Amino acid sequence: MPKPTRISKNFYSKEYFTRAASPGKGKYGKRAFDLNNPFHIKMSAMILDVLPIKKGDSILDVGCALGNVVYWLAYDGINAYGIDIAEYAISHSHIKEKVKQGDVIDGLPYKKNRFDFIYSRETLEHIDRYYVPGILDEMYRVLKPGGCGLISTRNNFADKEVIKQGNPHSADCSHLCVEPPYWWAIVAERSGFKVDYRRTLYGMCLPLCELNTWTMLVIRKPK
């Protein structure tokens, strides 16, 4: 059996977060994580719309990058926190007092039943399949009974489009776990979650003429 892959925190460097369409290292660009980038503001609004979250509730963003979503959730009165493997992202965070640097493969540095909600967007595909169940177990552990989570991750429909187009700028070599929606639902259920909602989302990246697809799950920890 091959040894599971662990991507070094050094992979997620300044170049990863700021260089547009870098072959094998994503396609963010210099302005992608600006505080006022409307994408992250809309993502925060989507979380508030999808999850039954209210002012004063706590939420953890697993894979928070520079903490844009954490910032805007906090702006709306949510006790938002984040964790990310990238030292560059945490050191340049918009809300340093609410984020931590850490590799989630090693566990989440929070107490059991700590958060009312949990959120993770485009993070779990960067984790080797071998480690994904353990990370879902950790998310289950830190979530309060009755708490909900929202997970969004790239799925294999997008990968097929990338291969079809043969666009080297579209490929991110850190995408280690690109699976169909049902796979993520099964893994979440094995960790103890109930899957309340499962959907495939579609979007077009116009500069690269690339179809992107995501799996979105709304999960719940039983009371």
In the predicted structure, residue 158 carries a pLDDT above the cut 60: no
Q: What is the DSSP string of 27-63?
A: ---TTTT-TT-HHHHHHHHHHHHHS---TT-EEEEET
CATH of domain 16-220: 3.40.50.150
The secondary element (H helix, E strand) that includes residue 70 is helix 68-75
Report whether 116 contacts 53 (CB < 8 A).
yes
Residue with tokens 């690109």: 178
User: Which has more pLDDT, 150 or 201?
Assistant: 150
How crowded is residue 143: how many other Cβ atoms within 10 Å of its Cβ?
Answer: 27
Span 168-197, pLDDT tens digits:
445 577 888 888 889 999 999 999 999 998
Residue 184 burial (C-beta neighbours within 10 Å; 0-12, 13-18, 19+): buried
Looking at residue 155, its amino acid is N
% the chain with pLDDT above 70: 83
Per the DSSP assignment, residues forming a β-bridge with 23 are: none
How many Å apart are CA 203 and CA 165, to the nearest integer?
16
Q: Each residue of 42-58: pLDDT tens digit?
A: 999 999 999 999 999 99
Residues 6+ apart with CB under 8 A from 8: none
Give helix 38-50 / helix 68-75 axis angle, nearest 10°. Answer: 60
